[in-house]
Structure 1
């Protein structure tokens, strides 16, 4: 068996655009006709350029190779051009190609990927949802009531999600985040964040955990001030309280607060996660399978986490192929905590697939279909091209001021 062909797809995520503006998929096919799909999570460069990078990496490192040789292919791509260091662009492209190889391997063996990575230990995967606007686009128009800054509206949506079956909800009311972070939270940001936790806790009681998110916004002292305001509401986690560059600084925040620190969505490879674990910066690791370096790399990270009593909570703010890979990892990881889902995995978000993801009363049920268990819908993807210039995610460009 050897890899013969690559196809790339850029899909415009339809409104309400939960999960981002677009998704970048790849499909690899062997000479014997077995195809596998993967997804690249790269928010730094335009999607067409990222798709071109996937073609280049495939032609240089993967074409003609046996897809079973994951370790060799990974090292070739990681070390190409005399690099051998964590690089978010290389790791993102490599993640999509590696993921597609696992899909092929599973189909060739007639086994789900989780069966090949140690076997299923979690038959149901607890899931959480972000609190999205109850109606309309994920990016509300200026002046519209917003679940992002209105604690009462957020509490209403939280109750709706808990009534559906979710036992955890995530929200991030900490104010704007910019390319200049970290910064000190403004008094209004502290007050609003405490109000969110207070109102949501009052609304859902002990039926759900509160997952307090930031985007690496704060300085160490600013994160401590925020944590002190939130501790009374016992959140399950304080997500990425400072920018991700310095694990020692994040560890200082983790030692200060009783709220568990969760982090990792912006990290790639085992090396960056090892530094975070060694520093004691986070006890909940949020690797994104479309960025971290692929399934085997994530499995290695999960194993490292076990040795430090840390758990994994795979992150998802991209498309449903990464969601499928996250599910495979979670199913075979003993230290799995909770899985991010995009709502209940239905509606426009799933329109790029022919297959579904099973969500039942707050839990995702891992697929036992061969490979990743998902297939692209080429016609639906072709009917929804991404023609905008905006990146998958954007940040404010001016510093936050009081």
Structure 2
């Protein structure tokens, strides 16, 4: 079996844009006609350039190769251009290609990918969602704790037992910083109001995006501790795991992080520092499925759990499902609400959601197929990146 062809799709994600402004998908096809899909996440360049990068790397290292030879492909791409160092751009590209190879491998074997990664451990995967806005909202649900508490009840009725929210304010290219007293007060009000609303029916996941210094994060954590969040997410920027470890040692709230890290080498530093109790690798950036499985095994040795990150498209979501199903130390899966809307439309066979859980597929490969007609009908035409940081200091 040899890889013969690549096709890329840069898909605009229609309003309300949950999961990002666009998705970058790849489809690899073998000479014998088996196709597999993958997705690149968060590469900090135009998505059309990312598609070209995928095509370039495929031509250099994957075309003509056996898709089963994941380790060899991984090392060649990881070392491309005399690098051998975690590079978020190259790892996003490699993740998409590697993911597509696993889809092909599973289809060739007639098995879901999780059966080839150690087999099924979990029959159902507990899921969480952000508390998202809805059309006609009277206020901004991201900044109004009372509206967030009302929306939380909607999600509880859908079966969710964990909800994420992030009232700490904008994240900036100049972070970390100390949050203002006003921001600290709002964060505390959110945690208190939501805990009163959900009681013990749901875990609260407090999201931040590296806005704080370690000292600032510790100040926030002390305000949040009475409301017993399941985690405090990425409290400091991802470039200093030693600083995140300071936060972890100073609070009873578990620290979760990892969406902006790539490869086992980044995660090894995190684990060596004792910086996190929960790892949130994104399979469209971390280096692919096998790399994520290795990281999960490293974490398992240290009694650290995994909660695969998803703020992107449903192909990464499908890969997350495969990893989670085969991982003993899986904790919870990020969902975009109940996987309806565009995340369902872009697939021929949507991800299965039941009563707050994702149900692992039994179909071979990743268990999903891209709907080309829908993908081509929604080309991305904007010039903004998937996510944008505030470009000035936040006071």
Residue 167 (structure 1) aligned with residue 161 (structure 2): yes
Q: Which residue of 2 aligns with 1:244?
A: 238
Aligned to 1:91: 91
Residue 332 of structure 1 corresponds to which residue in structure 2? Answer: 326
- Aligned to 2:163, the other structure's residue is in SS state strand
Q: Following the alignment from structure 2 to structure 1, what is the Cα–Cα distance between the partners of residues 111 and 176?
A: 45
**1:21 alignment counterpart:** 21
The residue aligned with 1:317 is 311
Q: How does 1:97-116 map to 2 (within 5 A)?
A: 97-116=97-116
Equivalent residues of 1:42, 1:50 under 8 A apart: no
In the TM superposition, 1:212-361 aligns within 5 A as 212-361=206-355
Partner of residue 380, structure 2? 386
Contact 2:42 2:387 in 1 (8 A): no
CA contact under 8 A between 2:25 and 2:96: conserved in structure 1?
Answer: yes
**Mapping for residues 127-206 of structure 1, pairs under 5 Å:** 127-135=127-135, 145-206=139-200
Measure, in 1, the Cα distance between the counterparts of 2:391 and 2:139: 24
Count of residue pairs brought into register by the alignment? 395
1:120 Cα deviation after fit: 0.4
TM-superposed CA distance for 1:159, in Å, is 1.2
Deviation per CA, 1:170-192: give whole Å up to 9, x if none. Answer: 00000111000000000011000
> How far 1:348 sits from its partner (Å)?
2.1
Q: Secondary structure at the match of 1:45?
A: coil
Deviation at 1:135, TM superposition (A): 2.2
Asked if 2 retains the 8 angstrom alpha-carbon contact of 1:17 and 1:349, the reply is no
Residue in 2 that maps onto 1:73: 73
Cα separation, 2, equivalents of 1:21 and 1:42 = 11
How far apart are 1:368 and its partner, in Å? 1.1
CA shift at 1:275, angstroms?
0.3
Instruction: Work out the CA distance in 2 between the residues paired with 1:181 and 1:351.
Output: 37
SS at match of 1:291: coil
> How far did residue 14 of structure 1 move?
1.3
Scaled by the length of structure 2, the TM-score of the pair is 0.99
Aligned counterpart, 1:33? 33
CA distance in 2, matches of 1:32, 1:373: 20
Structure 1: gaps (5+ residues) = none
Instruction: Identify which range, 359-368 or 343-352, moves more after superposition.
Output: 343-352
Shift of 1:313: 0.1
Q: Compute the displacement of 1:134 (Å).
A: 2.4
* Aligned match of 2:357: 363
Does the aligned pair in 2 maintain the 1:5–1:30 contact within 8 Å? yes
- Partners of 2:61 and 2:276 in 1: CA distance: 34
| Counterparts of 1:341 and 1:205, CA distance in 2 | 22
Cα displacement (A) at 1:351? 1.7
CA shift, 1:42, in A, is: 2.4
Report the Cα offset of residue 349 of structure 1: 2.6
**Structure 2: how far apart are the matches of 1:24 and 1:348?**
14
Q: Which moved more, 1:144-153 or 1:88-97?
A: 144-153
Cα distance in 1, alignment partners of residues 359 and 128 from structure 2: 14
Q: What is the distance in 1 between the residues matched to 2:232 and 2:42? A: 24
Quick one: distance in 1 between partners of 2:177 and 2:66? 48
Aligned-partner Cα distance in 1 for 2:16–2:388: 17
Q: Secondary structure at the match of 2:6?
A: strand
Q: CA deviation at 1:213?
A: 0.4
In 1, are the aligned partners of 2:349 and 2:368 still within 8 Å (CA)?
Answer: yes
Query: Is the CA contact (8 Å cut-off) linking 1:5 and 1:63 kept in structure 2?
Result: yes
Query: Is 1:167–1:209's contact at 8 Å kept on the other side of the alignment?
Result: yes
Q: Is the 8 A contact 1:267 1:287 kept in 2?
A: yes
Contact 2:20 2:386 in 1 (8 A): yes
Partners of 1:42 and 1:224 lie apart in 2 by: 28
Distance 2:124 2:86 in 1: 32
Tell me how far apart the structure 2 counterparts of residues 391 and 86 of structure 1 sit (CA, whole Å): 21
1:237-282, Cα deviation, whole Å (9 max, x unpaired): 0000000101111000000000000000000000000000000000
- 8 Å contact from structure 2 (residues 43, 88) kept in 1: no
Equivalent position SS for 1:211? strand
